[in-house]
């Protein structure tokens, strides 16, 4: 039975996108080298994944001096927002409040993080 297509990038695709978001357009070999810092994959494996990502519309490739240079077609905000909305819907029945309460109860938050959260809540309160 064929694997169901995900509406979101896989874990490996997301790692590649993070590299491209951080570094900008890169040749495939450079993507593989940076990816090797967290995952040891063969160059051909990385190129196969990037070809799939091109077909899915996550990245585009352009031939430059005999090499393909890859750049993201999706922004970090688009991907994170989509993945978070999906998580909120599936796990928390669409309740942003339930997500926030869960995070506040379970996360170890430093004073600076708590200040940021308070500022955001205060900003949201104002009409």
Q: What's the gap between Cα 123 and its chain centre?
A: 27
Sequence-distant (≥ 6) Cβ neighbours of residue 7 within 8 angstroms: 82, 86
Sequence-distant (≥ 6) Cβ neighbours of residue 98 within 8 angstroms: 92
How confident is the prediction for the chain on average, in pLDDT? 92
Closest CA to 9 of 68, 75, 63, 69: 75
Q: Is the dihedral of CA 77, 82, 85, 91 positive or negative?
A: negative
pLDDT confidence of residue 7: 81
Q: pTM for the full model?
A: 0.82
Contact 28, 70 (CB under 8 A): yes
Is the domain defined by 11-72 classed in CATH 3.30.930.10? no
pLDDT, tens digit, for every residue of 64-117? 998 899 999 999 999 999 999 999 999 999 999 999 999 899 999 999 999 999
Partners of 62 in beta bridges = 69
Extents of the domains making up the chain: 11-72, 76-125
Residue that is written with structure tokens 């029945």 in the block: 93
Contact 58, 73 (CB under 8 A): yes
């Amino acid at each position: 039975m064929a694997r169901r297509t995900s509406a979101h990038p896989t874990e490996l695709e997301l790692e590649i996108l993070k590299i491209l978001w951080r570094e900008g357009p890169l040749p495939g070999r450079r993507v593989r080298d940076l990816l090797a810092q967290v995952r040891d994959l063969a160059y051909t494996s990385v190129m196969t994944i990037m070809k799939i990502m091109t077909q899915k519309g996550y990245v585009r490739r352009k031939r430059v001096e005999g090499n393909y240079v890859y750049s993201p077609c999706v922004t970090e905000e688009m991907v994170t927002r989509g993945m978070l909305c999906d998580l909120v819907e599936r796990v928390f029945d669409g309740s942003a409040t339930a997500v926030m309460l869960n995070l506040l109860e379970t996360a170890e938050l430093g004073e600076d993080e708590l200040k940021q959260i308070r500022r955001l809540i205060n900003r949201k309160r104002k009409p």
